[in-house]
Structure 1
């Protein structure tokens, strides 16, 4: 079978589904970032100013775990999208593939039909954006925890 651009290289359905899930993931990441930079950062600064270094460190760790939870939620959303749309009919395989692709590790071979492979690129971009955003937030928290290290 010959691959044609209209049929296999660019699939509008894959683009629409991928864009929808990408936007949903950005909203999830934004929510978790707001929690961490709002409540978490203020609590961390409060403990630091009171001289409670251990508590400030614990808040920092909790904030990092909250950001990790954000990424796990986004992987779960990608896995559900792949499974519910029946692109990958086995839920476990959908979740593992979503995690492999979102983290850009790529340890799973691509189970997507050719016309849906654009989703892999969108998933990887989603993970890159979110991990970059989380890294920036961790840097902000580090500056709040160690203000003299600037």
Structure 2
């Protein structure tokens, strides 16, 4: 049980969690800004578009970019799990990370107790970042429709 973890281990998990939360927030923010610049999602430019095939293609590109951003974040969590020795293979680390990030909730059995707080934090991070991405995409769609 996590309550049975030594205070030093709990402190390490909390510090690592804080570092990962900050890192993922920065990665996501930079990724969305880069996507916005790459796809030239300026408000004045998007208002000129009609909602047609061009807008659909832009939104498809945006969706692909955001999906790729989430895959990168899952990969970064996976690399953390490998680096601390919590999981032994990249395939297991990616599976666990994707399951936690997407908040599937069935991953606790696969993760050592020494690091399971990180998995719970990853679920919270994934939930927030997926919501942020959704808001970004809806905002872009609304600008096209204005």
The interval holding the TM-score normalised by the smaller chain is 0.7 to 0.9
Matching residue of 1:111 = 110
TM-score when scaled to structure 2? 0.84
| Structure 2 counterpart of 1:63 | 62
Q: For structure 1, which runs of at least 5 residues remain unmatched after alignment?
A: none
Which has the larger Rg?
1
> How many pairs were matched up?
144
Distance in 2 (alpha carbons) for counterparts of 1:3 and 1:12: 12
1:18-97 matches, cutoff 5 A: 18-40=17-39, 41-42=41-42, 46=45, 49=48, 51=50, 53-97=52-96
| 1:36-69, Cα deviation, whole Å (9 max, x unpaired) | 3445323x86366265832222111101111111
**Cα distance, 1:4 vs. partner?**
4.6
- Partners in 1 of 2:138 and 2:46 — Cα distance? 18
Distance of 2:68 and 2:47 partners within structure 1? 25
1:95 aligned counterpart, secondary structure: helix
- 1:120 matches 2:128: no
Kept in 1: contact 2:108–2:116 (CA 8 A): no
- Secondary structure in structure 2 of the residue aligned to 1:11: helix
SS at match of 2:110: coil
User: Aligned with 2:104: secondary structure?
Assistant: coil
Determine the C-alpha separation between the residues in 2 that align with 1:88 and 1:101: 14
Contact 1:57 1:145 in 2 (8 A): no
CA RMSD of aligned residues (A): 2.5
Contact 2:13–2:117 (Cα < 8 Å) also in 1: yes
SS of the aligned residue for 1:104 comes to coil
1:100–1:30 distance in 2 versus 1, CA, 3 Å: same
C-alpha separation in 1, matches of 2:64 and 2:110: 30
What CA deviation, in whole Å up to 9, does each residue of 1:58-98 have, x standing for no partner?
A: 11110111111111000000000001111112221111100
Using the alignment, how far apart are the partners of 2:130 and 2:27 within structure 1?
13
